[in-house]
Amino acid sequence: MQIADQVQSFIVATTEVAKGDEPDSAVPFLLLEVSQLLLAGGRLGAHEDILPDERYEPDLGAEPDFDDLRERLAELLDPVDVYSEVFDPYEPRKAPVAHRLSDDLADVVTDLRHGMDHYRAGRTTEALWWWQFSYFSNWGPTASAALRALQSLVSHVRLDQPLEELDGLDTDQDLGEEEELAEEAGKVMAEEILGPLGLRTGR
């Protein structure tokens, strides 16, 4: 099944990137994988509601722990892990909040793995229901936010534009108004992060 293949590809690819064996290709590779995953999400979103075969979700046992994946991604993406995002673009005057790419990617893997466990157990409809439901409720918005951050990062570098880093920005605090954001922002040239993250400007 194509959806399951794309889900499995994302889980495997993100896990491999987090190992840090090829840091020079980390960000471009994540950009590609998240983009491909959201294509699968778009198919699920456009499809009519998928109804599970059983009234109650079968017990999968203990959930896998992805804290190690989260920590390895945080270490790998440290220069650009934190970014700002508006939770709901249709909610008026909603202030941007701080997110972490490492948290986002690990959360997406957690959601996808839950459905994959159903799929591997032969419960295809249950897996599709879970992937569709969690696409709307969690991993879809989360992956979309991560994609915007990754695409913005690559664009800053490819267009040879300085990258602003939010000094002291924490994911537990709101960014507030633009004036406050400007006070926190410190200039960091893109060259400082290109090598470790696989982003290099053209000649």
Indicate whether 73 pLDDT > 80. Answer: yes
Helix (H, G, I), strand (E, B) or coil at 166: strand
Please answer whether residues 132 and 44 qualify as being in contact, where contact means their C-beta atoms are separated by less than 8 angstroms. Answer: yes
Chain segment 88-120, per-residue pLDDT in tens: 778 776 778 889 999 999 999 999 999 999 999
Chain segment 15-43, per-residue pLDDT in tens: 999 999 988 889 999 999 999 999 999 99
**Could you give the CA distance from residue 196 to residue 22 in angstroms, rounded to a whole number?**
9
Mean pLDDT, range 77-84, rounded to an integer: 90
Given this model, what pLDDT does residue 56 score? 81
Given this model, what pLDDT does residue 104 score? 97
Chain segment 141-179, per-residue pLDDT in tens: 999 999 999 999 888 878 877 666 544 445 555 544 444
pTM of the predicted model as reported, rounded to 2 decimal places: 0.78
CATH number of 2-49+64-88+95-197: 1.20.120.1550
Angle at 61 (CA atoms; ends 59, 62), nearest 5 degrees: 140
Phi-psi region of 160 (alpha: psi -120 to 50; beta: other; left: phi over 0): left
Q: What percent of the chain has pLDDT over 70?
A: 79
Backbone angles phi, psi at 185, to 5 degrees: -75, 130
pLDDT band, very low/low/confident/very high, at 185 (cuts 50, 70, 90)? very low
Given this model, what pLDDT does residue 163 score? 66
Given this model, what pLDDT does residue 170 score? 53
Average pLDDT across the chain, whole number: 82
